[in-house]
A = this chain, B = another copy of it.
Amino acid sequence: MNAEIVSVGTEILLGEITDTSAPYIARRLANLGIDVYFQDTVGDNYKRLESVINLAESRSNLVVLSGGLGPTEDDITKLVLAKHLGLALDTDEHALQKINDFYKSYPMKEPTTADMQAKYIHGATVLPNDNGFAVGMFLETKQCDYLVLPGPPVEMQHMFTKYALPILAKMASGNPVIASKVMRFFGIGETELEDQLKPLISNQSNPTLATYAKHNEVTLRITASGSKKADVDNLIDGMVQKVNAIVGKYFYGFGDDNSLAKVAVSLLKDKKLSITAAESLTAGMFQSRLGDVSGVSEVFSGGFVTYSAKVKENVLHIPTEVINDHGVVSRETAVWMAQNSKKILNTDVAVSFTGVAGPDQLEGHPAGNFWVGIALPDGDVKAKEFNFGKDRNEIRDYATKCGLKMIYDNLK
């Protein structure tokens, strides 16, 4: 079974927005074992959209159309497909009610084409839009199957996962229940993770495993299908255990929306531990990442950016001899930075960063050489050396994540 993804929208065609929906859909289909051979982008133009539909149905079993379901005159996807297939448009009463209710309570003129959003092609299964107004649909025809999805990612991704996936999974595997879990890893590259998990990846068809490189991280999506929810969950949980038996030291959490900062802050909150930081190399990036997490003020009240040696001495009271004897890029400086910032702000935990962002060397150390220190509630202070030979801002991002992972490793 092979699929084709058609992105509809003049803004994508002109490069005004980058299409993230096609890659999302492609990944999810690949995960189901559905091959994608072609992707097309076409504007909001009747003739050209129909020509693409015509072509796609001639060479693919499943045609996924995304975009062009909105309330404006430009949104013509359903119209073009219905006319092309010679089928009528029906109205989903529930969706229509939702649209009417909205414009009743909203001080905005209802577009004349607003009710197009509630239409679906006669015979199709309606896919509700929990995050918007335009319904999607799944339609089987003699030529091929059509999946029609809205363009906005927040609407499309939710509709895909909740309503389209079960239909596609049944088609692809014969199983009505499908679920997936995303595992997150830090400190291992995608190729290395794939290599280590090769025995699991190649011998498995249910669950399937797929790795994705993120910004200095890797995620693994485990997808299973079956006839009952409990069986599917068991398959996934069993696989999580097998994966962690091999690469558990790099694992830190579940979920597509998760992050090292969220995991670290939630651990600190659970254990009621306050934190501060002294940042040289990262210049505030670590504390800013803590600040990304809503509610962090429960455990974080502030910290220091100590970029120069002088500020390390004057603000953090690090003895001049420590820096003179060992240099700023050293275990000793990292340890003093962590322990003194912890003392000054009287917190339970403190993390420190010192090293070379580059592009130039520092004290004979190459760019990418850095130390992360962590002062723990029991008075213990640890420091770890890292080498990460990329560009300045990748090094700083990586160092920030090393600090967050050290919180996880030491407090979990």
Of B37, B45, B297, which one neighbours A13 at CB under 8 angstroms?
A: B37
Within 8 A of B (CB), among A259-293: 277, 279, 282-288, 290-292
Say whether, besides A13-B36, A22-B41, A285-B291, A307 and B301 are in contact (CB < 8 Å).
yes
Asked if A235 lies at the interface with its beta carbon under 8 angstroms from chain B, I say no
19 contacts between A and B (CB under 8 A): A12-B23, A13-B38, A15-B22, A15-B23, A15-B24, A19-B19, A37-B45, A38-B42, A38-B52, A55-B55, A279-B284, A282-B291, A284-B291, A288-B396, A297-B308, A301-B311, A303-B305, A305-B305, A315-B344
Does A240 sit within 8 A of B, measured CB to CB? no
Determine the distance from Cα of A43 to Cα of B55 in the docked complex, in whole angstroms. 17
Chain A interface residues (CB < 8 Å from chain B): 12-20, 22-28, 30, 36-43, 45, 48, 51-52, 55, 59, 212, 277, 279, 282-288, 290-292, 294, 296-297, 300-308, 310-312, 314-315, 344-345, 357-359, 392-393, 396
**Could you say which residues of chain B place their CB within 8 Å of the CB of A212?**
16
CB proximity of A156 to chain B, nearest CB, Å: 13
Min distance, Cβ A35 to any Cβ of chain B, angstroms: 9
Question: Which of B36, B285, B315, B359 is close to A302, meaning CB atoms less than 8 Å apart?
Answer: B315
Given contacts A18-B18, A284-B291, A288-B288, 5 further A-B contacts (CB under 8 A): A15-B28, A18-B20, A39-B42, A285-B291, A302-B311
Q: Is the CB of A303 within 8 A of B291?
A: no
Q: Which residues of B contact A396 (CB under 8 A)?
A: 288, 291-292
Within the assembled complex, what's the spacing in Å between the Cα atoms of A284 and B14?
A: 37
Say how far A392's CB is from chain B's closest CB, in angstroms: 6
On chain B, the residues within 8 Å of A45 by CB distance are: 37
| Residues in B whose Cβ lies below 8 Å from that of A59 | 51
Within the assembled complex, what's the spacing in Å between the Cα atoms of A311 and B283? 19
The answer on a CB contact under 8 Å between B283 and A290 is yes
Bound-state Cα–Cα, A48 to B212, Å: 26
Contact across chains for B291 and A283 when beta carbons are under 8 A apart: yes
Tell me how far the C-beta of A56 lies from the nearest C-beta in chain B, rounded to whole angstroms.
Answer: 11
- A43 CA to B3 CA in the complex, in Å? 13
Report chain B residues within 8 Å CB of A48: 37-38
Complex Cα–Cα for A223 and B45 (A): 27
* A17-B13 in contact given A48-B37, A279-B284 (Cβ < 8 Å): no
5 shortest interchain CB distances as A-B pairs: A283-B291, A284-B284, A15-B26, A15-B23, A284-B287
Closest chain-B Cβ to A224's Cβ sits at a distance in Å of 20
Contact yes or no, A304 B307, CB < 8 A: no
Asked if A291 contacts B311 (CB within 8 A), the reply is no
- A27 touching B14 by the CB < 8 A rule? yes
Chain B nearest CB: distance from A396 CB in Å?
7
Question: CB-nearest residue of chain B relative to A291?
Answer: B283
CB <8 Å contact, A302 and B302: no
In the complex, A44 Cα to B20 Cα: how many Å?
A: 21
Minimum CB–CB distance from A391 to chain B (whole Å) comes to 9
Which of the residues B15, B20, B307 comes within 8 Å of A25, measured between beta carbons? Answer: B15
Once bound together, how far apart are the Cα atoms of A315 and B20, in whole Å?
45
Q: Is the CB of B40 within 8 A of A27?
A: no
Nearest residue (CB) in B for A45 is: B37
Cβ of B392 and Cβ of A292 under 8 Å apart? yes
Residues of B within 8 A of A315 (CB): 302, 344-345
- Please give me the residue from chain B that is nearest to A303 by CB atom: B305
Chain B residues, Cβ within 8 Å of A25: 15
